[in-house]
Amino acid sequence: MTKVYEFFLKIMPSKRKLIQLYSALLHNAHLKGFVTGKIFDGPLKNICGPGFNCYSCPGATTACPLGSIQNALAESKTKTPTYVFGIILLYCIILGRTICGYLCPAGLLQELLYKIKTPKLKKSKVTRILSYTKYVLLFVFVIGIPLMYALQENNMPVPGFCKYICPVGTFEGGVFLLIPQSNQDYFAMLGGLFSWKFLIMLLIVLSSIFIYRVFCRFLCPLGAIYGLFNRLSIIGVKVDKSKCTNCHACVNFCKMDVKEVGDHECIMCGECIDVCKDDAIKWKNIIKRIKEEKALEATLVSELPQPINATDVATEINSKALLNTAAVEVKNETLPTNTNSSQEINAIASQNTNKTKKSKKSLYAKIAAYVGLIGILIIVLVFTNVDFSKKYYSQNMILDSFTTKLYSEQEYNINNSEARVKLLYFYDVYDKDTFTAIEEATSEHVDSILISKYDNKEEYKSLVATDFAASALIFGYDSVNQTEISKFSETISYPYLVILDKDNKIVVAEQTKYDSSYYTNYIMPLANDVVIGNEVGNMCLTQDIKLISDDSVINISDYLGKIVVLNFWYIECAPCKEELPYFSQVNSEYDEVEVIAVSSNMWYTMAEEDTKAYIEAQQFDLTYAYDNPGESYTIALFGKADAYPMTIIIDQEGYIRYKAAGSVKEDVLRSQIEALLA
């Protein structure tokens, strides 16, 4: 049993390691993100965590402080970054580099790698000089580059350190996002910049096996910021100069490049406390400091000269006389022999009682602390892994349930209908012409349900009875709380059109007035068992896209009779720009082909001038558009919201014949087009 006990005692992590593990879990509590490959975007992401942990890590629950600083500086032309700087300053003043020693996930990972048994590189004057590299990176990549780009006309955010160096971002936000099967399309986006950063990451990982906290010591700008506040931080270690004998045992023992305990290189791990034989190194005790300051203040006040009062003087003289008399009387009496021992016993008993009370209080405090920490962890895990947001149905989703009350006081349930098409039209204003157009599209294969707002149901009920008495239209009304229309949009606005196929998959869900184009593009094909969707073989969803040249709108359906090639790209994507020349060449050679280059709306908004300048300089024969209305709305309809480049080829009848995430070689593009023209 003794050997077993010693084994577990040996492998049990220290208190600091437990805190580091706990902190790493809190920083990455979105555990399901590692499986789904989806980045957490809850409200906690508006807060900077104290440790170095990439925002794009699928498990990250908070924002990275270093990334937040760079983004804040990038936007400094339009707004002052007081919020981000305020939070970082708060961390600095309270904790300093104690964050590095106890709370940083990146620091924990390096320490675990260093535990691998290999020859180790010891610190020296060279490593001490190299430790200043992180300050160079701080001023150049964290401050300089974001500010330089922010002050330009396009105000384009460029987080220099994150973009060109950060190994933590490459590992957490790159590798972890590439692991899930659902994100395999991301491999197509990898270019030279990722290869460069991946190489840096590998060098850091390998170096961490031989050099203690190599990234923290030489490269981490966040540690550089925290280190500047080590002397001022409330929490940390300090040296009692009155006890210190300058033996330098603490500095020699420390694996960091410190010159003395508590300087800007000290990560406040506290391991030097046990090394100091003079007991000169202690944790800063803020409570003890406050008590000492109060005691000093009370002493100074008591030593102030007091005004002389005649009555007080007389009282003091009488008191002294009485004390002297009592002392004489005590001398004449014999005290019991066991008086002193009884007093000592009582004093010892009193001390033991106080110790017991303090011990119990300490035990209760520890239990409360552990329970509180476990409670916080459970709350964060639940909050970040359970989706509490309201679910809205959109295109390509299955509407699993929908029931509405009819004017006949019966109910309509989509799951009880055998129609191939279900048209739901929510309206606030009675529009007889529109209703007639919907009636013309209604058949035995089409259910058309017109749903009025609850407030107008009585008025419209009588109008329906007059105008559409013998109609095949189904009229109903929404609940008083607008329950049914609110399934599709957070912002309730009328009219709203929803079209479902026979499997209740949503083909259309948008705030729009019905017109005959919906019959041609959606209802008629669906009624004839045509599958409309985003997979090869499906009829393509027709969407409006804005042209970059003049913001006018084009629609995929406008090009029926021609082969349409949709190429999704953006200005910062190197693989995207490499394939544009031969896409342009193909567009020029074939009159039957229309190539539409759709720029990501997010990147187009940030780099509009750069995108337009690039288009003008290259003069490619392409139709240039940008995605709308969201950041990546149209590309999302084809199954991926953020994998670039992506190419979709649609045939002359509007069917998807080719779909590829990643670069498309010229010979593949030509062979696909030739096959459709044959």
Choose one of 533, 560, 580: the last residue of a domain: 533
pLDDT > 60? residue 44: yes
- The residue written with tokens 């896409």 in the block is 583
Give the SS3 label for residue 331: helix
Say how far apart CA 365 and CA 33 lie, in whole Å: 35
Residue 155: how many CB atoms within 10 A of its CB? 16
Tokens (6 digits) for 563: 């082969």
CATH number of the domain bearing residue 456: 3.40.30.10
At residue 603's C-alpha, the angle toward residues 598 and 609, to 5°, is 90
Q: 363 lies in a domain?
A: no
pLDDT > 70? residue 348: no
Q: What is the pLDDT of residues 601-660, one digit of tens each?
A: 877 777 888 889 899 998 999 999 988 765 566 777 777 656 788 899 999 999 999 998
Q: 554 lies in a domain?
A: yes
Range of the domain at 600: 539-677
Choose one of 227, 246, 277: the last residue of a domain: 227
Q: What is the pLDDT of residues 401-456, one digit of tens each?
A: 999 999 988 999 999 999 999 999 999 999 999 999 999 999 999 999 999 999 98
Say if residue 150 is in the same domain as residue 48.
yes
pLDDT > 80? residue 232: yes
Percentage of the residues of the chain whose pLDDT score is greater than 70 = 85
Choose one of 505, 533, 561: the last residue of a domain: 533
Give the SS3 label for residue 274: coil
Say how far apart CA 614 and CA 98 lie, in whole Å: 47
Q: 322 lies in a domain?
A: no
Residues 6+ apart with CB under 8 A from 228: 92, 264
Supply the pLDDT for residue 34.
Answer: 93
Residue 15: how many CB atoms within 10 A of its CB? 9
At residue 412's C-alpha, the angle toward residues 517 and 538, to 5°, is 40
Give the SS3 label for residue 545: strand
CATH number of the domain bearing residue 259: 3.30.70
Cβ atoms of 183 and 56 closer than 8 Å: no
Mean pLDDT of the region 81-104: 93
Say if residue 30 is in the same domain as residue 167.
yes
Say if residue 91 is in the same domain as residue 134.
yes
Please provide the DSSP assignment of 462-508 as one string.
Answer: HHHHHHSTT-S-EEEE--TT-TTGGGT-SS--SSEEEEE-TT-BEEE
Say if residue 56 is in the same domain as residue 199.
yes
Say if residue 35 is in the same domain as residue 71.
yes
pLDDT band at 187 (very low <50, low <70, confident <90, very high): confident
Say if residue 64 is in the same domain as residue 135.
yes
Supply the pLDDT for residue 303.
Answer: 66
Total of domains in the chain: 4
Q: 374 lies in a domain?
A: no
Say if residue 188 is in the same domain as residue 45.
yes
* C-alpha distance across the termini of the chain, in Å: 81
At residue 590's C-alpha, the angle toward residues 584 and 595, to 5°, is 45
* Residue 412 burial by Cβ neighbours in a 10 Å radius (0-12, 13-18, 19+): buried
Q: What is the pLDDT of residues 286-300, one digit of tens each?
A: 666 666 666 766 776
Give the SS3 label for residue 404: strand
Say if residue 547 is in the same domain as residue 434.
no
Q: 482 lies in a domain?
A: yes
Q: 344 lies in a domain?
A: no
pLDDT > 80? residue 600: yes
Q: What is the pLDDT of residues 105-156, one digit of tens each?
A: 999 999 999 999 999 999 999 999 999 999 999 999 999 999 888 777 555 6
Say if residue 551 is in the same domain as residue 647.
yes
Q: What is the pTM of this model?
A: 0.73
pLDDT band at 396 (very low <50, low <70, confident <90, very high): confident
Say if residue 203 is in the same domain as residue 72.
yes
Q: 118 lies in a domain?
A: yes
Supply the pLDDT for residue 334.
Answer: 47
- The residue written with tokens 């110790």 in the block is 355
Say if residue 661 is in the same domain as residue 627.
yes
Q: 140 lies in a domain?
A: yes
Residue 561: how many CB atoms within 10 A of its CB? 9
Supply the pLDDT for residue 328.
Answer: 47
Say if residue 139 is in the same domain as residue 272.
no
Average pLDDT, the chain: 86
pLDDT band at 320 (very low <50, low <70, confident <90, very high): low
